[in-house]
Amino acid sequence: MKTLRERFENPAREYRSMPFWGWNDELDPKEMASQIESMKSHGMGGFFMHSREGLETAYMGPEWMECVKICVQKAKEEGLSAWLYDEDRWPSGTAGGQVTAESEDFRAKGLTLEISQRSFYPEPSVQAVFKARIDGMNLLECERLRITETYPALCEEVYLIFRMETAAPSAWFNNESPPDNLNPATVQCFIQKTHEKYKSAVGQEFGKTIPGIFTDEPGLHDRNCHFTDYRGWLPWTRGFAEYFSEKRGYDILDTVPHIFFHGAFSSKARHDYWRTITERFSEAFTRQLYTWCERNGLSSTGHFLWEGNLGVATRVC
């Protein structure tokens, strides 16, 4: 048995530094093996295989998976830990755009707000419409209207029109949309295209050479989400109004103007919305990833977005 001093002088690999190893070029197995030897010689305990900007090898393609296998085997030979990373850069959830390419249901949704005095005409994307009096960001009066009817133009009052919109494609997501991480089916698709593929390739080393998998900055209010210009928005998903009603006991669409504007019900409306959207995110994304990792002998690690600032962290995840 080593003494405490001896363990500090020569710690086991789990107590040593494990860098994010940026895979940001055309991957060369010989060069990668050499870099693993260098990390070992400099006292590292392992590494995270992390896709970064500049990657020229197709993410999750045959060459990528072959490099993963080679690096895991080399880590095993060197006595290092080879940690997986679950995305092409970040934030996690699209498998490099493959998930959101599958279906519009898997693309991020926003509940957008249009303030208008023009005539209102029903359309499928509208979730709720109100006739209101506002003063800047203050909500003075508000009446919910039927979205199946047409209403004339207004002079002093305004219409508050809430629509569910789908995020446009973004270059950051390889010209696909950000993911709808509030949709459990989106996350299931993500797991199939990422975690299950790694299991097929190197699953025999799960819980051994591969201690776990890192998820990076998953969120709900991504800065790369683009909806109709000049409309404010909140994270949303299909079925969220029904989910909210089950959790909180009332219709969120009755009170949604109070989330955007300052009104008599705003404190409760905002509290209940953010509490419920967090619960949905936790169930749809975090719990599914954690459960998969637990069943497959892996540690689930990573970090969420903007954890250093509570207000921004609440908004984005």
CA 59/CA 65 separation, integer angstroms? 9
C-alpha–C-alpha distance, residues 312 and 317, integer Å: 8
Give the strands of the sheet with 126-135, arranged side by side. 138-145, 126-135, 158-166, 109-116, 232-236
* Global confidence as pTM: 0.95
Q: Per-residue pLDDT tens for 20-31?
A: 999 999 999 999
Of residues 317 and 280, which shows the higher confidence score?
A: 280
Digit-coded pLDDT (tens) for 107-143: 999 999 999 999 999 999 999 999 999 999 999 999 9
Average pLDDT over residues 276-289: 97
Task: Answer whether residue 1 shows pLDDT above 90.
Answer: no
Supply the pLDDT for residue 144.
Answer: 98
Is a pLDDT exceeding 90 seen at residue 2? Answer: no
Q: Give me the pLDDT at residue 314, please.
A: 84
Q: What local confidence, expressed as pLDDT, does residue 174 receive?
A: 95
Report d(CA 72, CA 81) in Å as an integer: 8
pLDDT digit string (tens) for 77-101? 999 999 999 999 999 999 999 999 9
313 has pLDDT over 90: no
Which residue, 117, 116, 47, is CA-closest to 79? 47
Give the tens place of pLDDT for each residue, 176-226.
999 999 999 999 999 999 999 999 999 999 999 999 999 999 998 888 999
Q: Higher model confidence: residue 210 or residue 308?
A: 210
Averaged pLDDT, 29-42: 98
Q: What is the mean pLDDT of residues 266-284?
A: 97
Question: What pLDDT does residue 305 have?
Answer: 87
